[in-house]
């Protein structure tokens, strides 16, 4: 059984209101908070809480930051939040970033993100500022179809990795899920992108072989995100994006955090079976991301 967050009552609009008090905040799987909502996040963090609506039930909940020890930022464009990180540093709040750097410019699958070279510059800028151990690279999802075959995907990953591998310690890959999500199917159809598809197991293994070869020059840890396929013979692990082992290594002097991480049953029961993440509170809202990526399960076009 997964752990439960502590709950308390605070005054909100002169009314005694129940809030949950998570130690780990995910910001966010559901939308790009660093790119589009960094001011909102900082202002609410200073206020001490946010109101969050459950995307499935529609129920509104209040999330308090009073116990927060780690923020995990997910982003395709973290540039807008970089100058705000000094506030979290001043409050001794720990954080690290999961940065998605894909190359689907030709295909138009990520229509409203900055161009690739600018995103690479931002990745390097952030890494130099906070340390490469706190900036993890995601190439996610891997998509096949049209001119996107396995050799082309490997070529594009290599092009990015050759520029950033000294500014990170890990590459996380995921394979596109289309049939699992009706919203994703609708997005591909609406965008006229139905030539793209999921990978079969042979193609996944071919990707793994290619990554193993180019990683001889990079020396990165490579891992898959929420994938049942076993690629361990290619030195590719199953990942935890919300990663207690990484937190223990990076933030070992934070006694409150270490005490929290010493508990049993930390795995996040709300994620899919193959996900290795520990429990966190994701504060993103569905259908609020302006990148409009065709493959996204959290946003409709």
Distance CA 123, CA 171 (A): 13
pLDDT for residue 54: 86
User: What does the block give as tokens for 46?
Assistant: 């200073």
| pLDDT band at residue 55 using 50, 70 and 90 as cut-offs | confident
- Tens of pLDDT, residue by residue over 183-210, are 999 999 999 999 999 999 999 999 999 9
**Half-sphere exposure of 151 toward its Cβ, with a 13 Å CA cutoff?**
1
| 241 vs 26: CA distance, rounded Å | 10
Instruction: Kindly report the average pLDDT of the chain as a whole number.
Output: 96
Q: Which of 289, 299, 108, 114 is nearest to 193 (CA)?
A: 108
- Cβ contact 172:225 at 8 Å: yes
Is residue 248 over pLDDT 80?
yes
User: CA-to-CA distance for 18 and 2, rounded, in angstroms?
Assistant: 21
Q: Which of 32, 56, 51 is nearest to 113 (CA)?
A: 32
Domain coordinates in residue numbering, the chain: 6-282
pLDDT given at position 1: 61
- The neighbouring-strand residues paired with 53 are 60
pLDDT in tens, 84-105: 999 999 999 999 999 999 999 9
Report residue 57's pLDDT band, with 50, 70 and 90 as the boundaries.
confident
Q: HSE, CB side, 13 Å, CA atoms: give it for residue 4.
A: 6
* Dist. CA 204–CA 210, nearest whole Å: 10
* pLDDT at residue number 284: 96
Q: Which residues contact 77 (CB under 8 A, 6 or more apart)?
A: 32, 34, 35, 113, 114, 119, 122, 291
Find out whether 235 and 222 touch, Cβ atoms under 8 Å.
yes
68-77, 163-172, 267-276: the lowest-pLDDT one: 267-276
pLDDT at 157: 98
How confident is residue 58, by pLDDT bands cut at 50, 70 and 90? confident
Give CA–CA dist 253/101, Å, rounded: 31
Q: Taken in order 208, 213, 217, 219, is the CA torsion positive or negative?
A: positive
Q: Which secondary structure element, helix H or strand E, spans residue 129, and what is its range?
A: helix 116-130
Residue 154 to residue 172: CA distance in whole angstroms: 14
pTM over 0.95: yes
Buried b (16+ CB within 10 A) or exposed e, 188-201: beebebeebbbbee
What is the full DSSP assignment across 138-188? EEEEE-BBTTB-HHHHHHHHHHHHHHHGGG-SEEEEEE---TT-HHHHHHH
- For the domain made up of 6-282, give the CATH fold: pyruvate-formate lyase- activating enzyme (3.80.30)
Give the range among 15-24, 47-56, 221-230, 282-291 with minimum mean pLDDT.
47-56
Q: Is pLDDT at 83 greater than 80 in this prediction?
A: yes
For residues 109-128, average pLDDT: 98
CB within 8 Å of 172: residues ≥ 6 apart: 98, 136, 137, 138, 139, 140, 222, 223, 224, 225, 239, 241
Residue 237 confidence (pLDDT) above 80: yes
- Which position has the token pair 């540039």? 79
The residue count of the chain comes to 301
Across the range 170-181, mean pLDDT stands at: 97
């Amino acid at each position: 059984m997964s752990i439960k967050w502590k709950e308390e009552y605070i005054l909100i609009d002169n009314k005694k209101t129940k809030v949950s008090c998570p130690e780990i905040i995910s910001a966010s799987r559901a939308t790009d908070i660093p790119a589009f909502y960094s001011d909102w996040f900082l202002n609410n963090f200073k206020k001490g809480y946010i109101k969050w609506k459950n995307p499935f039930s529609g129920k509104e909940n209040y999330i308090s930051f009073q116990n927060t020890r780690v923020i995990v930022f997910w982003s395709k464009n973290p540039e807008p939040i970089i100058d705000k990180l000094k506030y979290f540093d001043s409050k001794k709040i720990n954080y690290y970033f999961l940065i998605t750097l894909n190359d689907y410019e030709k295909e138009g699958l990520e229509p409203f993100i900055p161009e690739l070279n600018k995103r690479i510059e931002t990745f390097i800028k952030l890494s130099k500022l906070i340390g490469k151990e706190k900036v993890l690279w995601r190439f996610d999802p891997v998509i096949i179809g049209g001119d996107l075959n396995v050799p082309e995907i490997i070529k594009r990953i290599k092009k990015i990795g050759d520029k950033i591998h000294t500014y990170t310690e890990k590459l996380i890959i995921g394979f596109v899920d289309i049939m699992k999500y009706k919203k994703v199917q609708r997005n591909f159809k609406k965008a006229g992108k139905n030539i793209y598809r999921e990978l079969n197991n042979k193609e996944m293994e071919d990707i793994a072989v290619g990554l193993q070869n180019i990683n001889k020059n990079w020396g990165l840890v490579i891992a898959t995100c929420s994938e049942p396929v076993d690629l361990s013979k290619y030195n590719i692990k199953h990942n935890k994006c919300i990663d207690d082992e990484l937190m223990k290594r990076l933030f070992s002097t934070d006694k409150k955090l270490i005490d929290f991480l010493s508990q049993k049953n930390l795995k996040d029961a709300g994620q899919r079976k193959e996900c290795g993440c520990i429990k966190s509170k994701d504060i993103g809202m569905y259908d609020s991301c302006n990148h409009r990526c065709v493959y996204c399960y959290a946003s409709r076009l």
